[in-house]
């Protein structure tokens, strides 16, 4: 029971996502932060307000963190399909040479 | 990007890159906005008196006390990236013993002030009442170019000036000059340009007519005693 809880807590903290999710997370982080930078500069320049530029920049960064860092279900939509485990064979360690099982 | 910690590191790493790029663009935007300051300076009353540099000094020096009038329009210096503008007036005069007798090699500041942009008002080191008044004067605007318009009539100098020799009486060919520093939020501190740089123009005017410092003022009582 306690082990199970600990395991769940560790998984949540580690937040592992699948390969497609990793690609998506990388893309989102780059694109969102770039857009935030451009928007904050343009708003600040045209409204002549440097505080506004700072707030937009920091706010957008916080949003990006919230969207990219937690292991959202979106990043786990393509789990890796592993091959089925081979049948158990106690006497063999599964060392195969030239198609012959030798150990 | 497989685990949360790695994602935090990657996002933060790229965030710093974006910060630097935006800051660079903000600094460069300064060069795009024109700076066309103008000013007229006039000398009013001048006195030269004898005094001590500090209370325990045994040495007496001559101090020039120069009153002046300044009318300036520095409003183009105030953009979104301006934190504050430091404005100062100096008196400069040539050195009679120097090879080039007309070059104004001596220069001393007689008055200065800090003009903050509304975005930096909260940084001013002033009392609560004055602070309230200052914040109110911006009327909620992020920039307030009207703060660059100075109208000083017969202004008392902040600093009485002297020279290393201790003698300033009867110096001729003295002029007052207006200088400024623009301190930006992001980018480099800029001084009064000595030539036109792209859209930044030199101060139009900003130099008074040449004048002569008077002889030492003698106190009335001493005059009477001499009789």
Q: Is B207 on the interface with A (CB under 8 A)?
A: no
Between CA B139 and CA B195 the distance in angstroms is 35
**Would the CB atoms of B142 and A50 count as touching at under 8 Å?**
yes
Q: What is the pLDDT of residue B162?
A: 92
Number of domains in chain B: 2
**Phi and psi torsions of A8, nearest 5°:** -60, -45
The DSSP output letter for A89 is -
pTM of the model: 0.82
Extract the tokens encoding A43.
């708003």
Question: What angle, rounded to 10 degrees, do the helices at B4-32 and A2-14 form?
Answer: 20
B210 with B128, same domain?
Answer: yes
Q: Read off the pLDDT of each residue in A12-18 and give the average, rounded to a whole number.
A: 89
Is residue A71 a contact partner of residue A16, using CB atoms and an 8 Å limit?
yes
Residue A102 pLDDT > 80:
no
Between CA B155 and CA B87 the distance in angstroms is 14
Between CA B51 and CA B42 the distance in angstroms is 26
Q: List the Cα angle B25/B30/B177 in 5-degree steps.
A: 155
The DSSP output letter for B184 is E
**Would the CB atoms of B7 and A15 count as touching at under 8 Å?**
yes
Looking at chain B, the whole-number percentage of residues with pLDDT higher than 70 is 96
**Would the CB atoms of A16 and B15 count as touching at under 8 Å?**
no
Of the ranges B89-103, B155-169, B182-196, which one carries the lowest mean pLDDT score? B89-103
Chain A residues whose CB is inside 8 A of the B1 CB are 17, 21-22, 25-26, 29
B20 with B39, same domain?
Answer: no
Please check whether residue B13 lies inside any domain of the structure.
yes
Whole-number average pLDDT of chain B: 91
B75 with B17, same domain?
Answer: no
**Would the CB atoms of A69 and B119 count as touching at under 8 Å?**
no
H or E element in which residue B225 lies: helix B220-226
B6 with B27, same domain?
Answer: yes
B16 with B108, same domain?
Answer: no
* Backbone CA torsion sign across B68, B74, B78, B81: negative
B107 with B45, same domain?
Answer: yes
Please check whether residue B156 lies inside any domain of the structure.
yes
Between CA B158 and CA B70 the distance in angstroms is 14
Of the ranges A9-13, B94-98, B148-152, which one carries the lowest mean pLDDT score? B94-98
Give the contacts of B77 (CB within 8 A, at least 6 positions apart).
Answer: B35, B37, B85, B148, B180, B182
B104: confidence class by pLDDT, cuts 50, 70, 90: confident
Between CA B69 and CA B72 the distance in angstroms is 10
Please check whether residue B226 lies inside any domain of the structure.
no
Is residue A83 a contact partner of residue A90, using CB atoms and an 8 Å limit?
no
Q: Is A56 on the interface with B (CB under 8 A)?
A: no
B66 with B17, same domain?
Answer: no
Q: List the Cα angle B78/B79/B84 in 5-degree steps.
A: 50
Q: Which residues pair with A101 in a beta bridge?
A: A96
B14 with B76, same domain?
Answer: no
Between CA A47 and CA A51 the distance in angstroms is 10
Domain residue extents for chain A: 2-79
Q: Is A41 on the interface with B (CB under 8 A)?
A: yes
Residue B159 pLDDT > 90:
yes
Domain with B183 in it: 35-218
Q: Read off the pLDDT of each residue in B187-196 and give the average, rounded to a whole number.
A: 92
B25 with B58, same domain?
Answer: no
B71 with B172, same domain?
Answer: yes
Residue for token digits 């300051």? B37
B55 with B20, same domain?
Answer: no
User: Beta-strand (E) ranges in chain A?
Assistant: 96-97, 100-101
Measure Cα distances from B185 to B12, B18, B24, B81, B86 in Å.
23, 17, 11, 5, 14
Q: List the Cα angle B194/B197/B199 in 5-degree steps.
A: 125
Which tens digit of pLDDT belongs to each residue from B53-90? 899 988 899 999 999 999 999 999 999 999 999 999 99
Q: Is A11 on the interface with B (CB under 8 A)?
A: no
Please check whether residue B95 lies inside any domain of the structure.
yes
B77 with B20, same domain?
Answer: no
Which residue in A26, A50, A61 is closest to B15 by CB distance? A61
């Amino acid at each position: 029971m306690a082990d199970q809880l600990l395991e769940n807590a560790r998984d949540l903290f580690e937040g592992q996502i699948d390969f497609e999710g990793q690609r998506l997370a990388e893309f989102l982080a780059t694109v969102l932060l770039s857009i935030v930078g451009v928007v904050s500069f343009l708003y600040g320049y045209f409204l002549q307000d440097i505080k506004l530029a700072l707030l937009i920049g920091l706010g957008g960064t916080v949003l990006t963190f919230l969207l990219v860092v937690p292991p959202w279900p979106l990043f786990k939509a393509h789990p890796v399909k592993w091959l089925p485990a081979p049948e158990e064979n106690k006497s063999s360690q599964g060392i195969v040479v030239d198609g012959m099982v030798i150990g | 990007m497989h685990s949360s910690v790695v994602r935090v590191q990657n996002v933060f790493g790229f965030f710093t890159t974006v910060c630097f790029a935006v800051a660079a663009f903000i600094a460069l935007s300064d060069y795009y906005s024109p700076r066309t300051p103008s000013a007229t300076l006039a000398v009013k009353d001048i006195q030269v008196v004898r005094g001590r540099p500090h209370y325990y000094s045994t040495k007496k020096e001559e101090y020039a006390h120069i009153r002046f009038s300044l009318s300036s329009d520095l409003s183009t210096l105030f953009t979104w990236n301006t934190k504050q503008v430091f404005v100062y007036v100096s008196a400069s005069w040539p050195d009679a013993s120097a090879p080039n007798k007309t070059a104004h090699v001596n220069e001393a500041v007689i008055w200065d002030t800090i003009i903050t942009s509304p975005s930096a008002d909260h940084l001013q080191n002033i009392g609560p009442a004055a602070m309230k008044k200052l914040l109110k004067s911006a009327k909620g605007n992020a920039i307030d170019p009207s703060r660059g318009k100075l109208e000083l009539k017969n202004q008392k100098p902040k600093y009485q000036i002297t020279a290393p020799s201790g003698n300033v009486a009867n110096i001729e060919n003295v002029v007052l000059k207006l200088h400024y520093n623009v301190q930006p939020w992001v980018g480099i501190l800029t001084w009064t340009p000595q030539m036109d740089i792209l859209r930044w123009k030199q101060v139009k005017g900003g130099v008074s007519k040449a004048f002569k410092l008077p002889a030492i003022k003698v106190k009335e009582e001493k005059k009477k005693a001499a009789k």
